[in-house]
Structure 1
Amino acid sequence: MSRPLNQSYPFSVYSGLLTPVHYEKIGHAIWLFLWCISSTTKEIERDGMTWGIVLGNKPLKAAELALQFGVNEKTIRRWLALLERNGYIAVTRAPYGMILSVRHSKKFACASHVRTELPDRTEETGRADKLVQSNKDITQINTKHNMSSIKTIAERFAALRSLQEGKPVHPSSKDYQAIARIVARGVSLPQTIKWLEQCFEEYETRRRSRHETIKVFSYCEKYIIGRLAEAEAKTTVRRENNAQKNNRRGYGRTEKQEPSITGGQTGRLRRKTV
């Protein structure tokens, strides 16, 4: 569960935490609290409060956390009790461990304001094509609704990857670009999440080793595009079948003929003698 130094990554922490008030409440448990923040993979609104979901609600054992910090389990339990008592985290006891949540989570609060900046000049044709594609993606998704969808998809992807890897994983810039391409295609958010989860589920059935994991969202992007193509093909076939049925109904109809004023006689009519 411990993370090598070469896998270190940045995460957001508000400076308000670095005050005497919090130090008096947290003390050395700040290390566990910071770990909970860094391991938050998703944020949800519950009872008017934002909660950070640690490792996708994966049950954790005190022994695992003790190994992470190089301390004994007694210290971990003391830190957990301190953080829970002072309202920094919530601890839910589960059959296989403890599920941790961060109270008033703000890890992703500024995610929608992050903007990708691209170089002004490119020297290689291939690189230029990629940058043009990136610019196109950013132009098409530059709305609050789409940015919210991208954030939600990225959080779900991170949660699924974290569960698969057994450690906190965060999307890369290329992952965000791939997610943006899916959103730009107009795939609905619920459908994207559904296909994303199916992608991981089907991958698990073929997985032969715990080291085999989904590393990039582009893998899921291909899966989602494939499912989208299948759905569109089914829709096209259904429309064609409906059109054929309507045509058959039209051909089967016979026009109602009005009664003839000649009584069915044709040709020249003789004048009736009086």
Structure 2
Amino acid sequence: MNTEKVATHIISWLKDYAEKAKVKGFVIGVSGGIDSALTSTLCAKTGFPTLCVEMPIHQAQSHVTRAEEHIKQLKERFNNVSEVRVDLTGTYEGLKKMVPQISATPKEELSLANTRARLRMTTLYYFAGLHSYVVAGTGNKVEDFGVGFYTKYGDGGVDLSPIADLMKSEVYALAAYLKVPNAIQTAQPTDGLFGDDRTDEDQIGASYDELEWAMQMQDAGKNENEFSGRNQEVFKIYEKMHHSNQHKMLPIPVCEIPKELK
């Protein structure tokens, strides 16, 4: 990948979108992870106002530290970058008190994790509406179109997706080119939605390198019987998530009423 040309292309695409849509800037949720760091840097390089929003909810200190380091660096490099911190822990805990609780089942744990992402989405759109900005998504190609590893109407609720055609390895290459802090480049990918140290790989059962391989194999028309050992295991993981999360990737089904019934 020609990182310089790809970066220039995405920055130009963002600027063109903002100009045509007549919006004033971009708002991005910054988590301390590689995807949000790259996205916010690309938005900053457009010259348009770029608002970085920190939204901790029982966040690990390491995530907070990385996010703060990245935002500090961005503000030093670009005078169009601003920041705001909204601690949503109290809001999250207040919601938990109001909904029926089940005794720590996996489904409840996942529902609460997704609730965190949806609270953050609501917060981003508050600031977007306040400043006439658009919400820039931080999902990469493997997450958005491969395994659907994001929260529907959470981090999946955005106005535009500047890095959604980049594989995770390409995200890292572009982040290195754009001088994203090294602490972020070397950190284990995590969605940070569970309040512990579990990584994306812990949740999925495969690394992003493995998922990229599986995505390429599926695109090439391969099936699980053509592999063995770990490759077959990874391919099965990918296929299962790809199919079960189609509801995130496809347009919302609309019940079309036959003309003769109207």
Asked which structure has the greater CA Rg, the reply is 1
Give your verdict on TM over 0.5. no
Q: TM-score, normalised by structure 2?
A: 0.24
Higher relative contact order (CA 8 A, sep 6+): 2
Q: TM-score, normalised by structure 1?
A: 0.23
